[in-house]
Amino acid sequence: MPELAMPSDLAEPPGLASSRDLVGPLVEWYRANARDLPWRRPGFGAWGVLVSEFMLQQTPVARVIPHLEAWLERWPTPADLAAAPPADAVRQWANLGYPRRALWLHRAAVEIRDRHGGIVPSDVDALLALTGIGDYTARAVAVFAYGDRHPVVDTNTRRVLARAIDGRAQPGPPSRRDLEAMAAILPHDREMAAVVNAAAMELGATVCIARVPRCDACPLRGRCAWRAAGYPDTGDDRRKQARYEGSDRQARGAVLKTLRDAATHALPLAEVVADWPDALQRDRAIDSLIADGLVEVSDGLLHLPL
């Protein structure tokens, strides 16, 4: 979802006061059903939370966990990653997808080392100033790593709020109202507010899912406006992701995999996925990767960024 830069002191909007009734059952359900995820364990640390949030963008939890563990074992601090060449970050990212995130994370690590003494900042504005970090990630780090009180809204949270409060099958386009709606249900206590943020995300990820929600298992079923209205089809404005097979994304992935796996880490341009069925698409993929800074050309050789 697109990141939204918003102030941290959002006022409660009119008409949402009753949404606070959701908090009790939501927290009770979360404490009994929350998944045991690495970034939720005590002492995981702000750097680990930041890395996990980068990896979790548009990537399922099950795929992220082994990559996260390997990443933090190799680079346990921002300074460790900042000292490595960007190419190592791209290789370590492997098949997580959206590999620009690896470059952005590397640049953010350099900025954390150079601007913040190697310590991930807790201030939302300071986090927003780092490469690759938007409103969701900044707030998630501030809340889940440092215990600050902010509304944290991801795609799963937006779906829970849309159904339980607004009576809609799917959330509309991201807007300021998402943060206002979440702010409206947050307890004043910072620790409890963090739990409510996590609980709403967890409910959307495991029960209030997009296609076939598990309403019988939902702690909010007695308070859900969408259920009370008879599950109306209110439309779906979510952007549909283009098919992967045969796409430019697939061609880009093939180019990156070839370079990651190359023993010499550099190959002549003509030898990079030379058997790709669409030569124009292959060339377009290479050009776009160069434009994104994910690959470089030197003396006719293609390689990962130095």
Give CA–CA dist 161/179, Å, rounded: 10
**Active-site annotation holder among 3, 28, 53, 111:** 53
**Secondary structure (3-state) at 267:** strand
How far is 57 from 168, CA to CA, in rounded Å? Answer: 24
What per-residue string of b and e applies to 158-188 under the rule 16 or more CB within 10 Å gives b?
bbbbbbbbbbbbbbbebeebbbbbbbbbbee
Residues shown for the chain? 306
Q: How many CB atoms lie within 10 A of CB 223?
A: 18
The amino acid present at 303, given as its one-letter code, is H
Q: Is 53 a catalytic residue?
A: yes
Beta-strand (E) ranges in the chain?
Answer: 266-268, 296-298, 301-303
| CA atoms of 199 and 157, how far apart (whole Å) | 9
Residue type, 164: A
* CA gap 171, 237 in Å, rounded: 8
Please state, in angstroms and as integers, the Cα–Cα distance from residue 81 to each residue in 53, 127, 244, 253, following that order: 16, 17, 30, 23
How buried is residue 285: exposed, middle or buried, by Cβ count under 10 Å (0-12/13-18/19+)?
A: buried
The helix/strand/coil state of 110 is helix
Strand partners, 268: 301
The CA distance from 78 to 266, in Å, is 27
Residues designated as active site: 53
